[in-house]
Amino acid sequence: MKKRLIIQGMHCANCVKGLEMVLTEDVDGVSIDKIDLEGGYADIFVEDGVTDEALKIAVEELGFELKGIE
Ligand code: 9UX
């Protein structure tokens, strides 16, 4: 399933790299389509069983805020 994570607090390319890392390493079954620094969102693919709560925990681990999931 495709999801868009609306994320507040990404300011540089390292933020993007860090986010990519926590999403793929901390949560099983996530792959990244694209992360848009300017737009403040991450488009991802999630396998069945990946919860929004797990995504939220991963995003917020780095101090970003998850504003919404579309
Ligand atoms: Mo860049 Mo992001 O040095 O929190 S890693 S601003």
Confidence of residue 58 (pLDDT cuts 50, 70, 90): very high
12 lines ligand 1 (CB under 6 A): yes
Confidence of residue 3 (pLDDT cuts 50, 70, 90): very high
How confident is the prediction for the chain on average, in pLDDT?
Answer: 97
Atom of ligand 1 nearest to the CA of 62: 4
2 lines ligand 1 (CB under 6 A): no
Q: How far is CA 1 from CA 27, 29, 52, 61, in A?
A: 15, 10, 12, 23
Q: How far is CA 10 from CA 30, 46, 54, in A?
A: 19, 21, 19
| Distance (Å) from CA 69 to ligand 1 centroid | 22
> In the chain, how many domains are there?
1
- Give residue-wise pLDDT tens across range 6-57: 999 999 999 999 999 999 999 999 999 999 999 999 999 999 999 999 999 9
Residue 18 domain boundaries: 2-69
Confidence of residue 1 (pLDDT cuts 50, 70, 90): very high
Q: What is the CATH number of the domain that holds 26?
A: 3.30.70.100
